[in-house]
Chain A
């Protein structure tokens, strides 16, 4: 069963709004496959429980963490989608990646590649300006 392009876009928007920007764990259960793979540059998280822990850890460390993507910046083809997104936090308020809270505001861009299975997201691959984020919160000198 292939997800329609409109359904896929709506699901991707739920990922950004409900899951990441609101931390809604019910949305996690609805939108993400139980055996989801969340693949980052230095880390891979498998399954909803581990994902929820990562989600809450990031939302704790960053105040008012918000992710957004314009509908135009979401590209859907068959069971795959890609999105160009922006992340923003009002304040780095908790230790993250061993970096003590800096109090800094930060924002970066990134792109994610999604795979769908039975209407749910089963895989997310993320490429982001992680380097720039670390520089903004004092983790590295650029």
Chain B
């Protein structure tokens, strides 16, 4: 059964929103292919499975308990889905070695997924880390 691009998009949205906004990792088994590849891991090397993804989400949900993913733009065609998103939340717990600042952050990112038969076979993600780090006060903003 072939999935339409619209169906692929709904699956991808469900996957990311459920994982990020509820910390519900049941979607990992539900929506990832057995050999699903993550091309945007914490350590920078492509990795099979979802360990890095779980780690990232857990880290953010711990440091920003009210973290919320909002998908702002969607492009879907063939077997690919692209989302432009915003992650927003309050830095109310320690995060990446930084004690809680209480700051409200909102940073952008984009993610591409490749779908096979209604499941995610590959994921690439670019978060705006510079945006996040400057909002946390960890680095100065770049010159205007």
Q: Which of A11-19, A28-36, A125-133 contacts B (4 or more CB under 8 A)?
A: A125-133
Convert B114-136 into 0s and 1s, putting 1 for each residue whose CB lies closer than 8 angstroms to a CB of A.
00000000001011111101000
Smallest Cβ distance from A62 to chain B, in angstroms?
Answer: 15
Residues of A within 8 A of B77 (CB): 5, 75-77
Q: Which residue of A43, A75, A109, A129 is within 8 Å of B82 (Cβ)? A: A75
Contact present for B110 and A113 (CB under 8 Å): yes
A81 and B82 CA atoms in complex are apart in Å by 9
Smallest Cβ distance from B73 to chain A, in angstroms?
Answer: 6
Residues of A within 8 A of B110 (CB): 82, 111, 113, 127
Contact present for B130 and A130 (CB under 8 Å): yes
Smallest Cβ distance from A108 to chain B, in angstroms?
Answer: 9
User: B56 on the interface (CB 8 Å rule)?
Assistant: no
Residues of A within 8 A of B139 (CB): 131, 134, 140
Contact present for B109 and A127 (CB under 8 Å): yes
Convert A64-89 into 0s and 1s, putting 1 for each residue whose CB lies closer than 8 angstroms to a CB of B.
00000000010111001110100000
A101 and B20 CA atoms in complex are apart in Å by 40
User: A118 on the interface (CB 8 Å rule)?
Assistant: no
Q: Which residue of A81, A127, A130 is within 8 Å of B84 (Cβ)? A: A127
| CB-CB contacts below 8 Å: B1-44 with A | 5
Contact present for B75 and A130 (CB under 8 Å): no
Chain A: how many interface residues by the 8 Å CB criterion?
Answer: 27
Chain B: how many interface residues by the 8 Å CB criterion?
Answer: 26
A86 and B130 CA atoms in complex are apart in Å by 18
A42 and B73 CA atoms in complex are apart in Å by 19
Contact present for B108 and A98 (CB under 8 Å): no
Contact present for A42 and B126 (CB under 8 Å): no
Contact present for B126 and A127 (CB under 8 Å): yes
A76 and B77 CA atoms in complex are apart in Å by 7
Smallest Cβ distance from B108 to chain A, in angstroms?
Answer: 6
Residues of B within 8 A of A76 (CB): 75, 77
Q: Which residue of B84, B124, B130 is within 8 Å of A125 (Cβ)? A: B84
Q: Which residues of B contact A (CB under 8 A)?
A: 5, 73, 75-78, 80, 82, 84, 108-110, 112, 124, 126-131, 133, 139, 141-144
Q: Which residues of A contact B (CB under 8 A)?
A: 5, 41-43, 73, 75-77, 80-82, 84, 97-98, 109-111, 113, 125, 127-132, 134, 140
What are 23 inter-chain pairs, A to B, with CB distance below 8 A?
A5-B77, A41-B130, A42-B131, A43-B144, A73-B112, A75-B77, A75-B80, A75-B82, A76-B75, A76-B77, A77-B76, A82-B75, A82-B82, A82-B112, A98-B142, A98-B143, A113-B73, A127-B110, A127-B127, A128-B126, A130-B142, A131-B139, A134-B130
